[in-house]
Structure 1
Amino acid sequence: MAARLVLRFSRLLAVSPSFLASSCPFPSECIRSCPLHPPRPLTSPLHTTALCWYTDNLPALKQNMNGPSEKDFLSMIQSISSPEELLQISSEHCKNGNRAAAIISQIAKVTETNKDEVVNDKRFGELLSAVNRQISTIWNVRLLGLLRSLYALGVDGRHHHLRSVETEVRWRLRKFSIEILGRLGRLIVPNAQTVEQKALVQDLAKSVELRWTEVKDTKTLVNLIYSLSQVSKTLLERMEDKVLEYAELFTPEESRTITMALAAQKCRSLPILRALSFHLVHRNKELCPSVIVDLMYAYAKLNFSQHEVLQKMAADLLPKVAELSSREMAGCMRSFSTLRFFSLPLCEAVAQACLERSSSLTPSQLSSIILSFAHLNFMPSQQEEFFSMVVQRLSTELESLTPPMLVDLVWALCVLQLVTPPYLQKVLEPQIYNQFMGGPSNKPSNYSLKLSQINVTAQLECPEYRGPFLPRGLLTSVAPGSSLSPLQNDVRNVLRNVFPDKDTCDFSVKTVYCHHIDAEFVLDSDNNPLALRTFVDPNVLHSNATKPRPEGARRFAVKSWEFSNFCLRSKDLTGGFALCRRHLRAAGFLVVEVPYFEWQELKSEWQKSAFLKDQIKKVVAEAMSV
């Protein structure tokens, strides 16, 4: 505003007295207070600040009175699809910074190869020089397009012309609308490599933090969250209210973008996830497979499992399984299994698709699908046909699998009771298990646990397997005990009332099979408890007793099952815990199970004690009926 006033008064004071007398019989107070001087010829062009030009509504004719109009000029360059022709006509328009920027943008659109030749061309350098000379007069939107084009053409981040454009953008941040800031974020954040570019990103994030209330549309909101959520956690917290305000208006694609941005930053914002999921479920619109795949990946990474939205995505995905690529199918099944969501029709459709396109599945993709089936403890209806295909595809491809993938595959076959000695022998060789158990390793500890469970399967469920086995010394450090959950603590307190003698019940027992049990006790043939440490127990790591167990006595293992041990909204154990129960039974234990959904219905101590006694009687009756 001050620049405009200076410009007007400078022009007003430069006019002749005769013009003032003829055109304005009543001069203003400002003119009266200023002595009128004779007009002086201007020896240099009048300087005006660039602030008065920061609008996108400036008519093109004010910048260039000669040549074609702006509309005709844009139509002309947009009709040209050759970088050489655009460079050829650039000499006619390179004196105008706005038109030079438009030509550069069009060059970036039509140039797919030989970008270095275009950037190093002398005529392209002249365009950049014209832009640099008139950088302050280039319109906002065109300046943004210019920056995008320079990035697309691969101009070096240290190039002085690119740095000039970035500096101009930095100076205009406060003048840009919030919509332009959102588009700028999507543009600059992925390309920020140099120190100056990273500083520009930080300034952009600070500017948006101060102006986040100006967001009025979903597209800008999505752009800001997608680009700047990883830069500023404060911005993401402030945008949470905006997301909740516009959640109903988001398209599935925009919901996917926001969810993926949360997953990239590992920000598990439950209000945002619940709001987006609610509207995805209640919107009468079928989700496309690509959106489902990305949403499932983000939900799995954030460990967000809401049954209704997972059920909708499984239902929408079911008729389109054949359209999925092998990579998408494997990734989607992995996400469903991570969230413990089991859909029988979807799993059957994926198994059928694997049979139909077995030749297009890579060994890693097929192994991932089998691992997902194992997590969900799912056996295809065409079991023999499916696993004969698996054996045929993988028997000659085991060498191509990395050690972690090989361990996952063999563990999955153990869960599904389909493992054979060649697979066991391949995994239990020292060169494999030493990578996970023999010394310091960066691999997750769950691979050590999986190897121990594979070893137990070889001992208890595969009598034809002759070795090798894991050394006993390695098994003592696998799966260390953790703190008791509320369910385990409650069960332990009730068991103390059921078995008042401390010697008759042992708690938190670690077996030689690397499975922890909540409690262990022995009952004789008349169901009377016996002193536990009196008798030899080959299943426990540390047992010094030498007396054999009396005839007819039975050894019991109490195992409580938490919510996370079951498939979502189901009473079926997931694969790993079903394998644990199978191992305990194969080792000679009578397993007394305490599911969380039955225990939480019991209110008094008397009810809980009666429940445990009934479970013991039920297990004994089942053992006697076999």
Structure 2
Amino acid sequence: MNKCTDEEQIFDFIEKNKTILSEKQVGYAFNILWEFKKQKTSLLKNVACIKNHPQFLILQNITTKKIEFMNDETLVNVLYITQQSLSVLMVNISSLISQRFQEQLVNKTELLFDTIESSHVNIARRIVQFLRNIQYSHYSLLERCNKVFLSNANHLDLESISKILSLYNSLQFHSFEFYVVAKKRLTEMIPLVDQPASFVKLFVALGPMAGPEEKEQLESTLFLMSEELTSQQALTVIGAMEVMESRNARLIKKIASILHRHLDNYKPKELLKITRALIFLHFQSKEFFVRLRELLLSYLKISIIPGEISILVYTISMLSPSHLNKTELSQIEAVLPQCDLNDLNVLATSVLRWIQYDHMCLDSINGKQLKLLQKLDHYAHQRLRKYNNLNLLWEELKTLTKGDWFAESLLEETVVALQSMMNEIDYENVAGIASFISRTNYLNPLLLDRIASVVIQNIEKIHPFAIFAVTLPFSTMNYDPPQRDEFFGTCIQHLNSYLSKLDPIMLVFLGSSLATLEYFPEDLLKAIFNIKFLAKLDSQLELLCSSLSMRVQFRLMELNRAVCLECPEYQIPWFHDRFCQQQYNKDTGSMSGTQQHFYKMLAELLGGINYVKPSVLTPYYHIVDFECILDKRKKPLPFGNHNITLGKLPETHWESNTQIDGSRLPPGAERIALEFLDSRAFCGNIPHLKGKSAMKKRHLEILGYHVIQIPHFEWNSMTLSTKDARMDYLR
């Protein structure tokens, strides 16, 4: 077959050898035909030409006879059918096939994608649906499908847009261009949709990215048709209102009344969704929540499915501090051997919630709950030890970083397990594992070195969209791999050709993350700090919920500050005065107990409250816990008369904040910044300073401060357990 030069020779060869061809040779014949097909100018015409060839039926019949002996790779190779047929097959078998088979189908889809005409929206949608079903964010395929959607944007109906947005959300794939087009199309539909079923789809799709005017229009229209909503439509609406961060009390109350009416019809997972949404939306109704708890307990009595039991217990713990009885606790214990790590984590989080309530309110702890927690620990460690394959372990770890129990009981052994399998980290799983590690707050140099090595060696196989994920743990935990410059240089070089295509939000997060590590790629900064990009970012912020929008704005401010302080040669202006003033005014309040204690001791040590300032706002809006000034003989200097009531923060008089107020000091004097560092400033497993705290120290030093950081583990140690010891420490 290798000697054949066109399709005719292949078909002649098959005709002559049809009785002796093996399944592997059949697969190879398809590969050769595909290579010939790709060489032709008209791919679609050539596909039809091969399918209609009289000898093709012979190949088809041989394949049918050999199919049960084929491995996954050969089986996928012989799927000569059009991408339309393949996409239907993929969606229908997605839950039944192995990971290896999934990968083969994804590769085949990439190969066949060019046979899709640009108008085939449904084929592209089914491909995205398949990726959602197998939870695989294959960026290259998603991009290509997104182009199909964009080229047909004016013809997309409500059903299509709603489905695509839902799939993108599940895959955490963000396409700013598609969101803009979708918002425009959906907004045009508001006055045209008058059926409850269709309007609910419109509400769910448009609501999270609607502006205030559209949001009000959506909510008022929905209220008018609310009595016509079914139980499932009401459930969908309350979920969307949670995402929208709605504060429409009248509509919340109305939807809650419909949910109450249908409460008996909902499954445990749906009851969790209802509970979470109503608590987030600050809905209050004793009658509703009492009935909800009764229903959850009745489900718990008859449930035998581990995942369902964990959901029920978790939801009950959200609603009430009341304990489960002995029978219910025994029921949980009975299913523990069947629970996966996620189930065990959910159960442990629930039990801890009850234990913490007992400790705070009753000053006692229920012994049965402690025993259950010990059993949860036992089964979790047992399950963790059984894994000897990284991909299988990773399936359970993907969503497992939430909750105190995981961090305290399982994290260390999980990292040990990952380290033992780190040779299995490759270009396909490296972004996910890097993202997981950054969420754990656990510094393991061997794992991070392996991630850096895999990225350097396989950079061409890693999609630019994944660069933020693979660099994040290094910036979060302030860690430089041995090949630091090569690692970051390789990542940025790979990214440069994609800067115009990347989501604006992703670029801001990436720039802020790299700045934490003192890494300031000029091309990236030029891409961000220009009028066109910032206007595009402003447009995108309008599509986000307020909390995410604020996070993005804060990251942009941090990047702007870092560049101004650390790279003045780039001459990027500081433009965040107003934003920072608004944030500071929101955050200003009383000192914490620890701060008050510090303030008293510092004032006593230095000679009075006029010698120390609490919560000082520096140029570029860093907040210093305490500031004092020492002269050239290391004697404290007074600040003048700044009347501060103990426990209250000083009033701030705003000016453009890029110069230290009264920055001229006597010759030889220096400003001292004292920072108390709590546990959030350090990695969870070792006293290693994290990226944000290290960056703040750099910035304060650039501003002329001598920075003294006081770690919580030193301040709260036995060595400093007396006032005299602490005074000596401060002195």
Q: Secondary structure at the match of 1:452?
A: helix
The whole-number CA distance in structure 2 between the counterparts of 1:379 and 1:245 is 48
Q: CA shift at 1:484, angstroms?
A: 3.4
The answer as to whether partners of 1:565 and 1:573 remain within 8 angstroms in 2 is: yes
The whole-number CA distance in structure 1 between the counterparts of 2:457 and 2:352 is 39
Opposite residue 352 of structure 1, the aligned amino acid is S
Closer/same/farther in 2, CA of residues 396 and 326 from structure 1, 3 Å limit: same
Q: CA shift at 1:543, angstroms?
A: 8.5
Answer yes or no: is 1:508 the counterpart of 2:615.
Answer: yes
Which residue pairs with 2:700 in the alignment? Answer: 584
Answer yes or no: is 1:306 the counterpart of 2:371.
Answer: no
Which residue pairs with 1:104 in the alignment? Answer: none
The whole-number CA distance in structure 1 between the counterparts of 2:232 and 2:661 is 67
Match of 1:222 among 304, 307, 313: 307
Opposite residue 630 of structure 2, the aligned amino acid is L
Closer/same/farther in 2, CA of residues 251 and 266 from structure 1, 3 Å limit: closer
What TM-score does the superposition give when structure 1 sets the normalisation length? 0.57
Which residue pairs with 2:385 in the alignment? Answer: 285
Answer yes or no: is 1:200 the counterpart of 2:300.
Answer: no
Match of 2:721 among 603, 611, 619: 603
Answer yes or no: is 1:209 the counterpart of 2:297.
Answer: yes
Which residue pairs with 2:65 in the alignment? Answer: none
The answer as to whether partners of 1:348 and 1:380 remain within 8 angstroms in 2 is: yes
Q: Secondary structure at the match of 2:616?
A: strand
Q: Secondary structure at the match of 2:613?
A: strand
Q: CA shift at 1:512, angstroms?
A: 1.8
Match of 1:523 among 610, 630, 646: 630
Answer yes or no: is 1:372 the counterpart of 2:372.
Answer: no
Opposite residue 561 of structure 2, the aligned amino acid is V
Which residue pairs with 1:160 in the alignment? Answer: none
Which residue pairs with 2:416 in the alignment? Answer: 315
Taking only aligned residues, the RMSD between alpha carbons, in angstroms, comes to: 4.6
The whole-number CA distance in structure 1 between the counterparts of 2:402 and 2:711 is 27
Which residue pairs with 1:445 in the alignment? Answer: 550
Q: Secondary structure at the match of 2:421?
A: helix
Instruction: Decide which moves more: 323-332 or 490-499.
Output: 323-332
Match of 2:518 among 417, 421, 425: 417
The answer as to whether partners of 1:337 and 1:375 remain within 8 angstroms in 2 is: yes
Opposite residue 567 of structure 2, the aligned amino acid is C
Answer yes or no: is 1:395 the counterpart of 2:496.
Answer: yes
What TM-score does the superposition give when structure 2 sets the normalisation length? 0.50
Closer/same/farther in 2, CA of residues 388 and 245 from structure 1, 3 Å limit: same
Q: CA shift at 1:266, angstroms?
A: 13
The answer as to whether partners of 1:509 and 1:540 remain within 8 angstroms in 2 is: no
Structure 2 residue runs without a partner (length 5+):
1-87, 93-230, 237-257, 272-293, 356-368, 643-653
Which of the pair has more CA radius of gyration? 1
Q: Secondary structure at the match of 2:450?
A: helix
Instruction: Decide which moves more: 552-561 or 274-283.
Output: 274-283
Match of 1:345 among 429, 436, 446: 446
Q: CA shift at 1:433, angstroms?
A: 5.2
Closer/same/farther in 2, CA of residues 324 and 569 from structure 1, 3 Å limit: closer
Opposite residue 625 of structure 2, the aligned amino acid is D
Opposite residue 379 of structure 2, the aligned amino acid is H
Closer/same/farther in 2, CA of residues 438 and 324 from structure 1, 3 Å limit: closer
The answer as to whether partners of 1:259 and 1:273 remain within 8 angstroms in 2 is: no
Answer yes or no: is 1:276 the counterpart of 2:381.
Answer: no
Answer yes or no: is 1:469 the counterpart of 2:574.
Answer: yes
Q: Secondary structure at the match of 2:600?
A: helix
Q: CA shift at 1:269, angstroms?
A: 7.0
- 1:32-43 equivalences under 5 Å are none
Closer/same/farther in 2, CA of residues 452 and 316 from structure 1, 3 Å limit: same
Question: Cα deviation per residue 1:506-559 (whole Å; 9 max; x = unaligned)?
Answer: 111111222111111111111111233599xx9994999768311111111111
Which residue pairs with 2:150 in the alignment? Answer: none
Matched-pair identity in %: 19
Question: Cα deviation per residue 1:267-325 (whole Å; 9 max; x = unaligned)?
Answer: 96776777534432356823353564455444433355534511211121224345457
Opposite residue 564 of structure 1, the aligned amino acid is R
Instruction: Decide which moves more: 275-284 or 414-423.
Output: 275-284
Q: CA shift at 1:575, angstroms?
A: 0.9
The whole-number CA distance in structure 2 between the counterparts of 1:437 and 1:548 is 43
Question: Cα deviation per residue 1:193-214 (whole Å; 9 max; x = unaligned)?
Answer: 9999985336998777337446
The whole-number CA distance in structure 2 between the counterparts of 1:364 and 1:510 is 37
Q: CA shift at 1:189, angstroms?
A: 10
The answer as to whether partners of 1:299 and 1:305 remain within 8 angstroms in 2 is: yes
Q: Which has the higher helix share?
A: 2
Q: CA shift at 1:361, angstroms?
A: 1.8
The answer as to whether partners of 1:555 and 1:589 remain within 8 angstroms in 2 is: yes
Q: Secondary structure at the match of 1:359?
A: helix
Structure 1 residue runs without a partner (length 5+):
1-110, 116-187, 614-626
Question: Cα deviation per residue 1:152-172 (whole Å; 9 max; x = unaligned)?
Answer: xxxxxxxxxxxxxxxxxxxxx
Instruction: Decide which moves more: 248-257 or 576-585.
Output: 248-257
Opposite residue 367 of structure 1, the aligned amino acid is F
The answer as to whether partners of 1:522 and 1:529 remain within 8 angstroms in 2 is: yes
Match of 1:495 among 602, 618, 626: 602
- 1:85-484 equivalences under 5 Å are 200-201=265-266, 209-210=297-298, 212-213=300-301, 220-226=305-311, 238=324, 242=328, 250-251=336-337, 254-259=340-345, 275-281=375-381, 285-287=385-387, 288-290=389-391, 292-293=393-394, 295-302=396-403, 304-321=405-422, 323=424, 328-430=429-531, 432=533, 435=537, 442=546, 443-478=548-583, 480-481=587-588, 483-484=590-591
Question: Cα deviation per residue 1:329-380 (whole Å; 9 max; x = unaligned)?
Answer: 3233323322311111111122222223222222222211212221011111
The whole-number CA distance in structure 1 between the counterparts of 2:338 and 2:467 is 29
Closer/same/farther in 2, CA of residues 426 and 246 from structure 1, 3 Å limit: same
The whole-number CA distance in structure 2 between the counterparts of 1:444 and 1:587 is 29
> Aligned residue pairs: how many?
425
Closer/same/farther in 2, CA of residues 211 and 397 from structure 1, 3 Å limit: closer
Closer/same/farther in 2, CA of residues 254 and 473 from structure 1, 3 Å limit: closer
The whole-number CA distance in structure 1 between the counterparts of 2:491 and 2:662 is 47
The answer as to whether partners of 1:321 and 1:349 remain within 8 angstroms in 2 is: yes
The whole-number CA distance in structure 2 between the counterparts of 1:522 and 1:367 is 41
